[in-house]
């Protein structure tokens, strides 16, 4: 699925909602057994309940990789359950050079056939390029919302803040058709500055909902003519309820977000 396809889905669904499948055994609804098989049952119900309102799904690979081969199998089966009109994201945060980077890229973008993958640019251009060679979308960490982002991302350089220099430099390695950037929702006040650097790229914005990010502020500061936003909500949707009606509750939360998004488009 290309960025152009994604834009068409955004226009059709009047939504830029991405649902994060950070599925944790310990947080599954009370009636489901605490087993890895229940993760797939849970994911299936969430996808079926929310795909009408979502244009993308983000699978946080750590929640699956922890279980070894069984977890990878569940991740692959979850990916198969996602409707083809939805953009898929491997939230793997890889980033390495040479053959290692090539193998990471092959694993997620060829063998598993995700539409995109999140990548850390810390090691420089040759740690990002392997992921650009598959005709998919590379989503580069730009400005994150965790407290530790202050340690490095906000350091002052001769060209501004470090995150600004990273985004402006990395943007020259690709194009708006094959590259996006991660910007945390709790950094919404920085979105206008980031838009001045990358006016045409899509931004993946996690942190709306349970992490306290404001959809209104993100939309006001980040939307462009082609939308240019994927706003992710994970816990705020998938764990909206802990009882047997969890899928219905997830659907209602996704619908609420989509309705608000439609008002901004």
As annotated, the active-site residues are 93
CA distance 228 to 35: 38
Calculate the dihedral angle through the C-alpha atoms of 237, 242, 246, 249, rounding to the nearest 10 degrees.
-50
149, burial (CB in 10 Å: exposed 0-12, middle 13-18, buried 19+): middle
CA distance 8 to 55: 10
Distances (CA, A) of 39 to 21, 32, 54, 185: 10, 9, 20, 27
CA distance 21 to 44: 10
Residue pair 209/236 in contact (Cβ under 8 Å)? The answer is: yes
- Residue 9: enclosing H or E segment and its boundaries? helix 3-13
Residue pair 204/18 in contact (Cβ under 8 Å)? The answer is: yes
Q: Could you tell me how far CA 242 lies from the centroid of its own chain?
A: 24
Residue pair 143/163 in contact (Cβ under 8 Å)? The answer is: yes
Q: Would you list the DSSP string of 116-156?
A: EEEE--TT-HHHHHHHHTTSSEEEEEEE--STTHHHHTT-E
């Amino acid at each position: 699925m290309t960025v152009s396809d994604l834009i068409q889905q955004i226009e059709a669904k009047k939504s830029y909602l991405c649902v994060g499948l950070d599925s944790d055994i310990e947080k599954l609804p009370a009636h489901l057994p605490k087993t890895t098989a229940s993760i797939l049952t849970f994911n299936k119900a969430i996808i079926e309940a929310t795909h009408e309102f979502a244009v993308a799904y983000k699978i946080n690979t750590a929640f699956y990789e922890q279980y070894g081969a069984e977890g990878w199998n569940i991740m692959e089966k979850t990916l198969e359950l996602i409707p083809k009109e939805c953009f898929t994201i491997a939230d793997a945060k890889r980033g390495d050079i040479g053959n290692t980077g090539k193998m990471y890229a092959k694993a997620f973008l060829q063998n598993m056939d995700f539409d995109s993958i999140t990548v850390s640019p810390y090691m420089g251009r040759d740690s990002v390029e392997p992921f650009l060679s598959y005709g998919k979308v590379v989503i580069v960490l730009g400005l994150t919302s965790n407290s530790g982002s202050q340690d490095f991302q906000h350091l002052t350089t001769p060209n501004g803040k470090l995150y600004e220099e990273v985004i402006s430099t990395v943007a020259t390695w690709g194009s708006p058709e094959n590259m996006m950037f991660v910007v945390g929702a709790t950094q919404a006040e920085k979105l206008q500055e980031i838009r001045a650097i990358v006016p045409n790229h899509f931004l993946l914005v996690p942190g709306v909902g349970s992490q306290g990010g404001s959809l209104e502020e993100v939309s006001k500061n980040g939307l462009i003519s082609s939308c240019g936003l994927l706003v992710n909500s994970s816990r705020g949707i998938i764990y909206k309820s802990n009882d047997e009606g969890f899928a219905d509750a997830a659907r209602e939360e996704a619908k609420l977000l989509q309705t608000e998004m439609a008002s901004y488009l």
